[in-house]
């Protein structure tokens, strides 16, 4: 749209590729209407001074805003309507929460969870509960669990990867033959692979033997329990393909879940991997009763070091001060629901590491040992 603010004033109709509502603004004196067009609305206002000019611009802008919102609303509906099946790899707490959330977005949507525990599989299908992680929360009826990777992945439109990082490579290699080359993978897993220090954006394409596998990382300050309770939450999805990031945003966004988009995959992944290390240290400070001053010093310095490392790896500094950076650090370091912070508190209170490990399952043990290894490497 072209607007001339000096008399004669005109707003030419915008281009037509998306068929927006067309309108024409012109004002006396001296302005001639454009050729007649039945599809174009005409606004005629007297042009006696700056006040009238501002009114014309305001009316034109409001029309454009209404058209833009209408177009965005149709796009969101289209993504959800086109999606018939999603698959969640992993039956843990966060994977279950994401499966339940997406399932509530559209009742005919088929949500398959690929799990390895037959007991969890039965409890989801027969009782609509994840007996291991959420025994008190009822899952939507369209959430279906299976131990068959081929059946779970067949015909899926989106794949949410919720398998712990340390097991992801071997797991994905086993199911690679059933993965469609164009299936978008949304990674929910946070961390770096031991020994190789690879991120999920490096692990998934190599394990699937497809460097062009569409990839999105989802991260941000979120506890699975609060997602299950439908409490307000904000997350970020990052992908080098903005179109896929927008599709995931439209698939997941709801009245209780806000989804931001980003192109900074490296920043989102590194922040998500290192915030747990900082949470253990914050828990130790709490367990030792070192006070609020030392807690503030530790977390602020830790954030600076994460930002320094991430930017050296190519991340944007703004990402590290956003949801996936500072937001996730605040949640993990200061809230008692954080498992890593709780481990730090127990250590600082004098418990032995062996006793803490004995109270965890095998997956939690391996993740915790990874975080301790990272902590020892990063500490001066």
- Catalytic entry in 275, 312, 352, 365: 275
Q: Which residues contact 208 (CB under 8 A, 6 or more apart)?
A: 172, 176, 179
Q: Is 275 annotated in the active site?
A: yes
What is the set of active-site residues? 275
């Amino acid at each position: 749209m072209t607007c001339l603010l000096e008399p004669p004033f005109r707003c030419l109709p915008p281009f037509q590729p998306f068929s927006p509502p067309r309108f024409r603004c012109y004002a006396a004196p001296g302005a001639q209407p454009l050729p007649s067009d039945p599809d174009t609305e005409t606004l005629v206002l007297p042009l006696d001074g700056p006040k009238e000019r501002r009114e014309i611009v305001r009316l034109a802008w409001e029309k454009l805003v209404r058209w833009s919102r209408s177009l965005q609303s149709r796009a969101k509906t289209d993504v959800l309507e086109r999606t018939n099946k999603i698959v969640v790899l992993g039956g843990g707490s966060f994977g279950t929460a994401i499966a339940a959330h997406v399932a509530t977005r559209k009742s005919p949507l088929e949500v398959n969870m690929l799990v390895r525990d037959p007991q969890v599989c039965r409890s989801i299908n027969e009782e609509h509960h994840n007996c291991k992680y959420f025994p008190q929360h009822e899952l939507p009826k369209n959430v279906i669990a299976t131990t068959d990777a081929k059946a779970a992945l067949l015909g899926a439109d989106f794949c949410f990867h919720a398998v712990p990082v340390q097991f992801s490579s071997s797991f994905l290699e086993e199911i690679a033959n059933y993965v469609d080359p164009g299936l978008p993978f949304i990674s929910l897993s946070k961390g770096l692979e031991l020994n190789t220090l690879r991120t999920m954006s490096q692990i998934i394409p190599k394990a699937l033997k497809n460097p062009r596998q569409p990839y999105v990382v989802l991260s941000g300050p979120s506890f699975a329990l609060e997602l299950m309770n439908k409490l307000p939450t904000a997350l970020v999805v990052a992908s080098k393909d903005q179109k896929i990031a927008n599709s995931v945003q439209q698939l997941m966004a709801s009245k209780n879940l806000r989804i931001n988009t980003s192109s900074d995959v490296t920043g989102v992944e590194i922040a998500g991997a290192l915030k747990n290390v900082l949470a253990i240290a914050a828990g130790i400070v709490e367990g030792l009763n070192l006070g609020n001053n030392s807690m503030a010093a530790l977390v602020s310095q830790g954030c600076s070091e994460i930002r320094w490392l991430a930017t050296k790896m190519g991340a944007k500094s703004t990402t590290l001060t956003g949801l996936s950076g500072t937001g996730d650090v605040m949640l993990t370091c200061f809230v008692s629901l954080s498992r890593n912070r709780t481990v730090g508190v127990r250590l600082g209170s004098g418990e032995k590491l062996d006793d803490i490990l004995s109270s965890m399952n095998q997956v939690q043990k391996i993740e915790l040992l990874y975080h301790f290894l990272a902590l020892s490497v990063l500490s001066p």
